[in-house]
Structure 1
């Protein structure tokens, strides 16, 4: 086994830290130490307490010494890897992201990636991520950084804007769900056992949560055209019933992939992120709650997020009571490959600055694509070419991301507002958009 030190910023996380520990326990390639750092020191201590039970469960293949540090630089000393998953500010600040825009008639199904909610969250996240980058490069400059925090493009971009030499990847599981959906379709269509999602080879292009599959291959055969021909639009009334039923059961994170399919119908490329996220990059699906429901999608409400945050031990109890099982994330696979603990290259999707893997995006913009990961090496794979109409949508969102990132890094309020003003979800009058921006700004209590 390869011995490594992993530092987890946000180590008091209710779910992500526990997922990582479970996957580490199931790894037969890594061992060492895991250091948890969190501004909520008590939450990190709780996860440390749980860790002994996770690594002690039947089926555990590895053992990590789990420690807690309350000083970031101490936590980072000697780290081979740094994992970041944080909530930027208390959950109550999601009121700013969700309820203020809603007051102005702007609806968001998630509110953590784009739109006024995503920008408000970016205003909180970017300075924090930039500060992390400075600490990492001062203390453990050779460490690889894996970021799970949303808004993914802005958070990953902040790491590189602050420290251009940092070695960081932004990792997201949304594409996995698209693979799983296609795997189920293959099983139904061909009468075979449902293949592993990893058997579905996608070619994706775009920015995080607004990615598109330009091709999908199973057993060497392209299946995207056949899938498109078999798609059924779905009855809006029936889809609304499905969405409302999920709301009543608080099943906020599932959908019918009808928005992803609608992009395929209209433009010839399949949405490769969940419908909840795809909807937020364009104004078409979120003109009202009724409209988004008619696509089978629920909006995750602020009130539910507060309720979940008020019971932080619920997720921990599930990990204590359940059997040890893979989380479905690929973070540990990346760590194994980067550490040189396996001879196999890992092919997966990730977010990093464009170095030419996306020929239609500006160099340096944070884009999502597939790539190959091996010992201390990341090689992005060239993206497929998107249709001009979809690339135009991507271009606007890349421009918004760059305006907001540069505006925050330079403490330039006017530049941030320029990005805010051209966001497609702000499909309201200029006066209302300015009033919403001013209210968000005041609520964030920024000092610049």
Structure 2
């Protein structure tokens, strides 16, 4: 029996889609799915969701839910991480407090000052999970969805190099899905590959039945001036390759868009956008709880799109497919640092996960990637060494922050966020959370 653990299963909407994609495979054999969260109420909704989906798809599986993480992890084959440390409240702080100084972000969960502090809040939990896995399920695969993706995968590679960890994100799939709709080409028959860093990878290959689709995209943009008011279209025009995340995420990776009111208006951005997104997620949770209580069917995406269920299916059944993963570079992309976490295609089958060497990515794209890579490197060094100055230096590496704030303002802002997030930050960096050592498996 394949034992799959969801950590942070109270993230009900995301867990719902992952479970739906998983349960639509009818050749996986017996499944044991364990849902873990620290919220009993959210766990109850997640468990009710799992039972409804199993009935809906005619799939037999053993489901359980527990607030005991060690009990959940024991004997796991796959550990799917969708946890959000502290819930939505800390993320709201990451958006609102910098905004008081004029540093406007849209999402604040992957790069920039929001990404730095979200990473530092998440590292103690990741270390604790890895410590438990070393004892309870050392051969399990750790499939991470939690942002900041690159920093979290990099942290696990640093503190638990024995752990088989892969970062999974649906942004590349949905980018290609939407681009195909834009140029009037069906997704079926389309071949695509992207490489770079998470939320700023570059679409290096995009063809349909052998036809390069980039010329169609350029023609489509030229025919509609309003498309030029999209962040990603502007990046594409200047860099030459299309970035693989939505405009809200993409805008935070450069100083081009959120620096002035004029740019914000031109590119139709909504500063602090993610606060509304979090409110929608809370509403979706309440809707799901009500739907289960009333016996109504839960809403799902029309198609299975998430990589974790696909990866699990390939490893269990031997079916071969290509997905995209976030892993330590180690020669996969020549013009990014070897120890950076990069996003690349990977072949998945019964033998495991094999990332594909991509060589050099577009030089201009790699140049933009390096800002995010440097920020991530400094954030990891801060947590590994307990050096608080490196937290500030990480934010200093962010092009958006330095376009708006002086170094002195950045130092002061980091001090304030450290105080506000103290409950979740490592003790060594001025917080109250224990950063445990992770042993190698016996």
Q: Secondary structure at the match of 2:399?
A: coil
Q: Where does the alignment leave 5 or more consecutive residues of structure 2 unmatched?
A: 429-442
Q: 1:199 to 1:410 in 2, by over 3 A?
A: farther
Q: Which residue of 2 aligns with 1:80?
A: 77
Indicate if the aligned counterparts of 2:106 and 2:274 stay in contact, CA closer than 8 A. Answer: no
Q: Where does the alignment leave 5 or more consecutive residues of structure 1 unmatched?
A: 188-193, 240-255
CA distance in 1, matches of 2:109, 2:210: 36
Q: 1:233 to 1:384 in 2, by over 3 A?
A: farther
Indicate if the aligned counterparts of 2:183 and 2:216 stay in contact, CA closer than 8 A. Answer: no
What is the CA distance between 1:344 and its match in structure 2?
2.9
Structure 2 counterparts to residues 153-232 of structure 1, below 5 A: 153-187=150-184, 194-196=185-187, 199-232=189-222
Q: Which residue of 2 aligns with 1:29?
A: 27
Counterpart check, 1:321 vs 2:294 = no
Counterpart check, 1:423 vs 2:383 = no
What is the CA distance between 1:413 and its match in structure 2?
0.9
Q: Which residue of 2 aligns with 1:345?
A: 320
What is the CA distance between 1:309 and its match in structure 2?
5.8
Q: Which residue of 1 aligns with 2:239?
A: 267
Q: Secondary structure at the match of 1:425?
A: helix
CA distance in 1, matches of 2:66, 2:52: 20
Counterpart check, 1:440 vs 2:412 = no
What is the CA distance between 1:50 and its match in structure 2?
2.9
Q: Secondary structure at the match of 1:183?
A: helix
What is the CA distance between 1:234 and its match in structure 2?
5.5
Indicate if the aligned counterparts of 2:183 and 2:220 stay in contact, CA closer than 8 A. Answer: no
What is the CA distance between 1:305 and its match in structure 2?
4.8
CA distance in 2, matches of 1:326, 1:203: 20
CA distance in 2, matches of 1:318, 1:266: 46
CA distance in 2, matches of 1:87, 1:392: 30
What is the CA distance between 1:317 and its match in structure 2?
4.9
CA deviation profile, 1:312-360 (whole Å, cap 9, x unmatched): 3224556842466545323211110022x1x431111110111211111
Residue from 2, 5, 13 that aligns with 1:7: 5
What is the CA distance between 1:47 and its match in structure 2?
1.4
Residue from 270, 279, 283 that aligns with 1:298: 270
Task: With the length of structure 1 as denominator, give the TM-score of the two structures.
Answer: 0.87
Q: Secondary structure at the match of 2:222?
A: coil
Moved more, 382-391 or 302-311: 302-311
Moved more, 325-334 or 91-100: 325-334
Task: With the length of structure 2 as denominator, give the TM-score of the two structures.
Answer: 0.88
CA distance in 2, matches of 1:402, 1:264: 26
Indicate if the aligned counterparts of 2:391 and 2:414 stay in contact, CA closer than 8 A. Answer: no
CA distance in 2, matches of 1:366, 1:351: 6
